[in-house]
Every structure is written in structure tokens, then in C-alpha cells.
Amino acid sequence: MKVAVVQMVSGVALAANLAAARSLLRQAAEQGAELAVLPEYFCIMGQRDTDKLAHGEAFGSGPIQQFLADTARELGLWLVAGTLPLAAPTGPAPDAPARVFNSSLVYSSAGLCVARYDKIHLFRFQNGTEHYDESRVLSAGEQPVLFELASRDGHVWRIGLSVCYDLRFAELYRGYAQRGADLLLVPSAFTYTTGEHHWEVLLRARAIENLAFVAAPAQGGVHENGRRTWGHSMLVDPWGAVLAEQAQDAGVVLAELSMARLLALRGQLPALSHRVL
């Protein structure tokens, strides 16, 4: 199955971001991709964290979701929307702050939404210069989510969903492995500071320890809001080999994922069946 991960440098304007995403997804389709994955915050990287609240949509309706459904159907792609803001329930207090979920939606090539994952782990980081706290505007998800994709070559792929900061929590991916995941998705917007030291080693570790492919699209560049993201979108095989990668700037990274190789590696090193704890 040929998989594309899409790297973007999203800005503050929703329409421009959607246009850029569509152009990149068209490139992926033209190069034979069957599954394409957009990065975290593909649709909006606002001047402030609260800007995403204005774009929050009810699940099942809204211009971003319509764009995704239409694009998947028109291009004949399975499409995973890295993340978009979906409305979250407000607290019981009348002055409770507004919140959205940071949600990854999966669309079949028929344009149907077949899975939803709300980011479970919310990023917080402070080093004296940079400060991030996603919990100010995001509500955390609670459930890991797998979906199945019947590829053109006759295999059924089990695919586990995650987002960015989730990457640091190995138990999420081990749970997916126990449920038979063949491919792990990690759409992200890693900061340059953390990504430089942690991004590749964590992606390769998740692939190796779970004997699964990993597809990781990212934001990669300097954004209108001044944030700098690490990029280095990549596809990794179950042995930890980087199959394809793009360092910075917008682009499409593709690789052919082989179910035969995955099964062969699991047969050679049946570590998943050796778990004790």
C-alpha cells in the first residue's frame, strides 16, 4: 500500500490552508497514494491558541469536514485529517471557558467519515523562552481508536491513531500493537526545540518496539504566528528504517508499505508474543 504523509507550514487563514492541503493531496493522489495523512493543525495555526476556538465545528458538519469529505471522494483517497478543532462540551459553571477537541478524522475514498480520534495527551512545555499549554483551550480525549483499511492489494490494514505529544506515551502504542495494529499514525506539529532531539528517535522506537509501520506527517517551517516547527515528516518501517523523509517546507513524502515485510519481520523476531508484563 502506498502511503503519503503531507508536510505543511500552515498559517492563520483557513481558506489558504485548505487550498494548500488540497494541492498537496492532489500531488499524493497523482503519485499513486492510497492513504494520505495531513499534519496536526493543518487547517489553522492561529496568532493565539484561542484562535482555533472560532473554527470549532460540531462533529459531522462544518466547512472543514465538508472539505475533507469532498477531497477524499474526488481524489479517490483514504484521507486522515491530522487534526481539526471539534466542539467540546462546556463545564457546568456558567463562566466555564470554551474548549475544543483536537481531533483526527478518517475519511474513506467514498468521502465517508469512518473514525474519529480525540488527542489524549495535551502538550505542555516551558523553557523560559517558549511556553505552550494546550489544556488552556483543548479538552483531552479518552479513547484509543483503530480503523481498518482494505487496500487494493487485498490486505486489510489495522491502523492506530495518535497525535503529536501522544508519541511520548509508549503504552498507547503498545495497546494498539496488542490489538493487531500494522500501521501507527502520528500527525504532528512538533516544536523545533523538542523535535530536534526527540522526534526521529521516538518515531523509530515506536516502530521497532511494536513491529509496525509508522507514518508521521508534520508541520515544518516558520509560521505566520512566529512559531517554528521541526518538520521531518517521515515513514518508518517495522525494523526502524526511515523509508522516506522531508526536512522542512511543504511537500509530500511517499513510500510503499509492504505487508509481506511486516509479517516476515514479526516472524523473524516474535517479540510481541514474548511480553511478560
Q: How does the average pLDDT of the chain come out, rounded? A: 95
Please give the grid coordinates belonging to residue 153: 492489494
Answer yes or no: 196 catalytic.
no
Residue 93: pLDDT above 60?
Answer: no
In this structure, are strands 213-216 and 233-236 parallel, antiparallel, or unpaired? antiparallel
34, 52, 164, 200: which one is catalytic? 164
Q: How confident is the model over 204-219, as pLDDT tens digits?
A: 999 999 999 999 999 9
* Of 44, 137, 161, 132, the residue nearest 88 (C-alpha): 137
Average pLDDT of the residues in 44-48 = 92
Residue 130 and residue 193 in contact, taking contact as beta carbons nearer than 8 Å: yes
Can you give the C-alpha Rg of the chain in angstroms?
18
Residue 118: pLDDT above 60?
Answer: yes
Q: Which residue has the higher pLDDT, 97 or 236?
A: 236
Name which of 78-92, 99-113, 228-242 the model is least confident about: 78-92
Average pLDDT of the residues in 241-266 = 98
Q: Reduced to 3 states, what is the DSSP secondary structure of residue 190?
A: coil
- Give me the pLDDT at residue 226, please: 92
Residue 188: pLDDT above 90?
Answer: yes
Residue 59 and residue 85 in contact, taking contact as beta carbons nearer than 8 Å: no
Average pLDDT of the residues in 54-69 = 97
34, 119, 134, 200: which one is catalytic? 119
Residue 98: pLDDT above 90?
Answer: no
34, 40, 57, 134: which one is catalytic? 40
Average pLDDT of the residues in 113-127 = 95
Taking the alpha carbons at both ends of the chain, their separation in whole angstroms is 33
Average pLDDT of the residues in 29-57 = 95
- Give me the pLDDT at residue 245, please: 98
Answer yes or no: 52 catalytic.
no
Query: How confident is residue 125, by pLDDT bands cut at 50, 70 and 90?
Result: confident
Which sequence spans correspond to the domains of the chain?
A: 2-89+97-273
Residue 147: pLDDT above 80?
Answer: yes
- pTM score of the predicted model: 0.96
Which CATH number applies to 2-89+97-273?
3.60.110.10
Answer yes or no: 119 catalytic.
yes
- Give me the pLDDT at residue 129, please: 84
Residue 72: pLDDT above 60?
Answer: yes
CA-to-CA distance for 78 and 148, rounded, in angstroms? Answer: 11
